[in-house]
Every structure is written in structure tokens, then in C-alpha cells.
Structure 1
Amino acid sequence: MTRPQPGAARTAARLSRLGHDAVLMPLFEATVTAGIDDLPPVTEISGLVATSARAFDMFEDMNAIAAGLADVRVHAVGAATAQAARDAGFEHVHEGGGTAQALAQALAGDHAGSLTGPRASNRSGRTRLVYLAGVPRTPVIEAAVKAQNINCTVVECYKMREISYSTDILNSVILSPVPDVILLYSANAARRIQALAEPKNAVKSLKSSRFLCLSASIAAELPQDLRSRVIVARRPDEDSLLTSLAELD
């Protein structure tokens, strides 16, 4: 299980209930890098875009209601991110198709004036879309809003930092025995696994492991020699991912 905490523990519990022996190996941890004060004035914000639930960690000390943002529409990449937005106090949350690419297509289909929710006519002064972005990230959302000439401000509100493991810990604890399946939830995780599997890193061979990926874009980050052992979830959500895992048994 390579996803960051706290999601890793929740997924591990689900896997345990399904009869699997889940080993936690989070490859990244999220650090909040911005706060409410880093957002543009509330009177200018037409909507928020988020591709991760971690984007809403910045509202932990002051939720959307207290910040006067509860009625601002949120464009969330998928169900988990949408739920994080609702938990933060946002009332108008739109769920995307589960990938940054699908969310970008949805944004491209909207007009800048329609990004404010059901009371748009009363908020004509709000014309700025705000992307609650992480570091590192792919430029999918930025490219989409630029192509549509949408007024968008990027606020980098969290950073995914690599978690390092010693070779001894990897070989003797985490990867012993070698896992049957490695679950990958992000392109960053796929790139890290690829690096760990390189012979120069002296990590146990993963040649017998299969790689279960949340989306095709994540699978594309794995090298060609691993592709024959890659399975992509039918939909980019955890329920579908775990259904694919069950079908392997």
C-alpha cells in the first residue's frame, strides 16, 4: 500500500476486512504550505479546483464557512476529494470524472461566468478560478484553463515530500516476503516504485509482483518491462481498484 497517510491506514483496514495482508509503505507525506490568507479576496473567487483531498487540509484551522467561502463552487477530481471539500464546509461541490484529464475537460466545457454555482447572477464580480494545487503536479489543469482563457490563480497549498526507507528496512521488513500486488494511487508513486526497483538501489526484485493502478495515466509511468504485470482499475476510484484486486484471486 503506497498511498500517503491517513488514506493508507483506511485502505489497509479495508484490505484486511477483505482477507488481504496489507503492508504499509507510504512513499510520500503531505505538508500544508498555504493558508486562507494566501487565497485571493473572497469577493473575486468564482470557484475552486482541486485534484486531491489534501488541498483542503489548509481549511483545518478555519473552515469554508468561517472564511466566507461556503457558497463558492468546488470542482473536485473525484469522490474522495469532493468529500474532503464538503467536510471543509463547502456547499456546492461538483465531482469530476476521477482523473485530472477528465476534470480538465469539464472545466473546458464551462464558461468563466458559470463557475460560481446556483447564485451566479448575484456574484458577477467573482471571475477568478483558484486552483488549489500540490507540488509536484502535472500541468493538466493549468493547460486546460489557459487554453480556454479562464482567469485562474494557482495557489500551491500542499507539498508531497518523499518518505525515505533504508535498503535494510525495505528488504527485511516491508518487502519480505515480496508483495504479490503493489497498489499505486498516483503518477509520483509509480515513478518512485520504478526507481526503487532499479538494480542499483539493491532492493529485492519485484519481478513477481503485479501493479494495480488507479488510472491509465499512472500505469503509463511504469517502464515497458513491467507493463505485462500492470492492471488498471476500470474507473479511477478505490472501489473499482479493490474490485480489480478481488478479480485477481
Structure 2
Amino acid sequence: MRVLVTRPQPDAAATAARLAAAGHEGLVDPMLAVEAIGAARLPDGRFDALALTSVNGARALGARAEWAELRRLPLYTVGWRTAQAAPEGATSRVAGGDGAALAELLRAGLPRGARLLHVCGEDRAVDLGAALADEGIAVELFTLYRAVPAAALSPATIAAARDGRIDVAFHFSPRTAATLAARATEAGLSAAFGQVTHLCFSAKVAAPLEAAGWPVRIAAAPNENALFALLSA
């Protein structure tokens, strides 16, 4: 199959390589570019634990001098990919792959009155502060990166869509899905992308594609293995 991959680099290249190894053709066109926020400042005070909700946050934290101070804290990650990307020396308590599962793990692991540091980007898929407020757990943000939407589809993607050479698109986040829908509409290609099967991590990821009237299928779990399983289902 010919599969459009819209996730940011370097993960898009890794997904394309996996597609090639499985006999598929990957077309990489990232809908977001990740940029570090160098001026980010660690909030003052003592923390009882650290939470990571994305691979990008894990990578950004590993590049910061503050990691030497934070590495002593218990680390909670949203899923295994984020845990694997955590800075050297980290030992993670790993949730089931989404924000709800992470919040449940934090409720079980932290006492009332605890103070949690959430390492994140400017746009967050989960609001841990709201999720944990009733448990008396305070959440402070350490915002280390931003994801900048693509200004347009690549020429290769435009040509492939016009020629009907995209069978499937992989969608890992609501923002990449929404950005693709917007850029396709701007390029006059919404109808063409309506002929593509859109495979999504979750119902939340699928929502902007469904709003565009495009066909979606939702993975059994929010991970890349489950997206690949849909290719052969």
C-alpha cells in the first residue's frame, strides 16, 4: 500500500522505514515541526514526581541541564514509546498509552498534597492539572517545545493526491490530522483525500477527519503497532 505519514520528524522517517520493511510505500509529509523553547524556565519549588506525556517532551528534557536536578524524581510516562525516549538514567512508571491512563496511574502513585512537574509542549492533549485536582495533586508545567503547523502540503503529496496514489494515511495526533485537513482544503484536495482511508490512533485523532467527511478507521490501541495491524485487517 501507499501510505501517507504526517507525523513530525524524526519519527516520520522511522515509520516510513518500517513501512518499507513491511512491503509498503511511505510518503512522508510532516504536518508539524517540533521546535525547542530554549528560554523555558523550571518552576520554583520542590516536586514529588515528574510526568512525560510525549516523546518530544522526553527528548527535549534530555537536552536540558535541569535533568541533572530532576532525575532523582519518580518518573511517570504516558506509554512505552515515551518511556523509551526518556533521558538516560530514567526509570519510568508506564501508563497504558493515553492521558486518562496516565492520570489513573498518578492517582494511584501519588499522595494528596503532592506536587507534580508536567514536562510538555505548548499544545497539550491532556490537562493533568484538571484530571488530578480532585485528588489534591498540584501540577506545574515545564513547557519545553512547540509544534509548528506546516504551511502547505508538499509538492509530492499534492501530486500523489491528485493522481490517486495515496491509499492510506496514518494519523498519530489531533493536531496533525487537523492540519492535514486544513492544508488539503486550501489546496482544493479535500475530495481527493476523501478517497483515502485514514487510520487513526483514537476517536479524538479521527474527529477533524470525520468533520471533513473523510473515511476513518480507529486503531484498537493508541500505538503504531495497532495502526500497522489495520493495514492487514
Q: 1:225 to 1:69 in 2, by over 3 A?
A: closer
| Equivalence for 2:201 | 214
Corresponding residue for 1:156?
143
Q: State whether residues 48 and 130 of structure 1, in contact with CA within 8 Å, keep that contact through their aligned partners in structure 2.
A: yes
- Mapped to 1, the partners of 2:133 and 2:8 lie a distance apart of 30
Q: CA deviation at 1:12?
A: 0.4
Greater alpha carbon shift after TM alignment, 180-189 vs 97-106: 97-106
Contact 1:55 1:158 in 2 (8 A): yes
The TM-score normalised by the length of structure 2 is 0.85
**1:233·1:241 contact (CA, 8 Å) conserved in 2?**
yes
2:51–2:119 Cα contact (<8 Å) kept: yes
Q: Within the alignment, does 1:223 sit opposite 2:224 as a pair?
A: no
Q: Does 1:59 align with 2:46?
A: no
Pair 1:23-2:27 in alignment: yes
- Deviations along 1:146-194, one digit per CA (max 9) or x if unpaired, are 2322122111111001122357554225765441101000010121122
Deviations 1:202-238 (A, max 9, x none): 23621210010012221233334636x2111111111
Distance in 2 (alpha carbons) for counterparts of 1:211 and 1:173: 15
Taking the TM superposition and a 5 Å limit, the aligned residue runs for 1:58-97 are 58-60=61-63, 62=65, 64=67, 67-85=68-86, 88-97=87-96
- Secondary structure at the aligned position of 1:44 is classed as coil
- Superposed counterparts of 1:1-249, under 5 Å: 1-34=5-38, 38-40=41-43, 44-56=46-58, 57-60=60-63, 62=65, 64=67, 67-85=68-86, 88-112=87-111, 127-165=114-152, 170-172=157-159, 176-198=163-185, 200-203=186-189, 205-224=192-211, 226=213, 229-247=215-233
Distance in 1 separating the partners of 2:212 and 2:153: 25
Does the Cα contact within 8 Å between 1:167 and 1:202 map onto a contact in 2?
no
Deviation larger for 162-171 or 186-195: 162-171
- What is the distance in 1 between the residues matched to 2:160 and 2:211? 28
User: C-alpha separation between the residues in 1 aligned to 2:76 and 2:109?
Assistant: 11
Q: Supply the AA of the counterpart residue of 1:60.
A: A
Deviation at 1:34, TM superposition (A): 4.6
Q: Hey, what's the Cα distance between the residues in 1 that align with 2:155 and 2:23?
A: 28
Following TM superposition, by how much is the alpha carbon of 1:82 offset from its aligned partner in structure 2, in angstroms?
0.6
Amino acid at match of 2:28: L
Residues 13 and 166 of structure 1: is their aligned pair in 2 closer, same or farther, counting only changes over 3 Å? Answer: closer
> In structure 2, do the counterparts of structure 1 residues 233 and 133 end up closer, same or farther at CA, with 3 Å as the change threshold?
same
Query: What's the CA shift for 1:63?
Result: 7.7
C-alpha contact 1:25 1:174 (8 A) present in aligned 2: no
Query: 1 CA distance for matches of 2:88 and 2:70?
Result: 8
Distance 1:151 1:166 in 2: 41
Structure 2: which 5+ runs fail to align? none
Q: Which runs of 5+ in 1 are unaligned?
A: 115-126
**Partner of residue 119, structure 1:** none
Amino acid at match of 1:172: A
> Contact 2:61–2:119 at 8 Å: present in 1 too?
no
In 2, the alpha carbon distance for the partners of 1:149 and 1:233 equals 34
Compared with structure 1, are the counterparts of its residues 146 and 19 closer, same or farther at alpha carbon in structure 2 (3 Å cutoff)? same
- The whole-number CA distance in structure 2 between the counterparts of 1:14 and 1:75 is 28
Counterpart secondary structure, 1:172: helix
Distance 1:90 1:167 in 2: 39
- RMSD (CA atoms): 2.6
What's the % identity of the aligned pairs? 27
